[in-house]
Amino acid sequence: MPEIKLTSANFEEEALKSTTPVLVDFWAEWCGPCKAMGPIMEQLAQEMEGKAVKIAKCNVDENQDLAQKYEIMSIPAFKIFKNGQVIEEWVGAQTLDGLKSKLEKII
């Protein structure tokens, strides 16, 4: 299962109305550390396959309305959405195991 690409068009459907928690990685092309998270997010999505959680990415440059709405001021930024609410958030690059253990606590 590849990561879900979130945009202004599908954010409500895929993230806010999701029946399972969604981890969203807010990123941009211009941000080196964000791009360094690319392979980590890919692997995370593979390892979380079949579990009750969605792994998603949201490009803040292409979706500035979402960046503004969720008050993104540093990227990469990670937020976990559950029942339409942000239940956890961090900024800065994360390790694969770090993300996994955070997700395992909530699923």
Partner 1 sequence: MPEQYDLIIIGGGPAGLTAGIYASRRNLKTLILTKDIGGQASGASWVENYPGFDKVNGYELMQKFQKQAEKFACQFKYEEINKIEKTNNHFQVKTAHGNEYQSLAIILAFGKTPSNLDVPGEKEFTGKGVAYCATCDGPLFKNKIVAVVGGGNSALESADYLSKIAQKVFLIHRREEFRGEAILIERIKKNPNIDLKLNKTVAEIKGDKFVKSVVLEDVNTKAKEELKLDGIFIEIGYMVDASAIKDLVKINDKNEIIIDESCQTSLAGVLAAGDVTNIKFKQIVISAAEGAKAALTAYKYIQDIKGTKEAIFDWGKR
- Min dist CB 20 to partner 1, Å, is 23
Count the Cβ atoms, other than its own, within 10 Å of residue 100: 15
State which of positions 3-32 bind partner 1 (CB under 8 A).
28, 30-32
27: helix, strand or coil: strand
Site string for partner 1, 53-92 (x = CB under 8 A): -------xx-----x---xxxxxxx------------xxx
* 58 is known as an active-site residue: no
> CB of residue 19 vs partner 1: minimum separation in angstroms?
28
Q: Which is nearer to partner 1, 39 or 84 (CB)?
A: 39
DSSP 37-83: THHHHHHHHHHTTTSS-EEEEEETTT-HHHHHHTT--SSSEEEEEET
CA 10 to chain centroid, in Å, comes to 14
Catalytic residue among 15, 34, 44, 55: 34
Rounded distance, CA 94 to CA 101, Å?
11
Positions annotated as catalytic residues are 31, 34
What does the binding site for partner 1 look like in residue numbers (CB under 8 A)? 28, 30-37, 39-40, 43, 60-61, 67, 71-77, 90-93, 95-98, 100-101
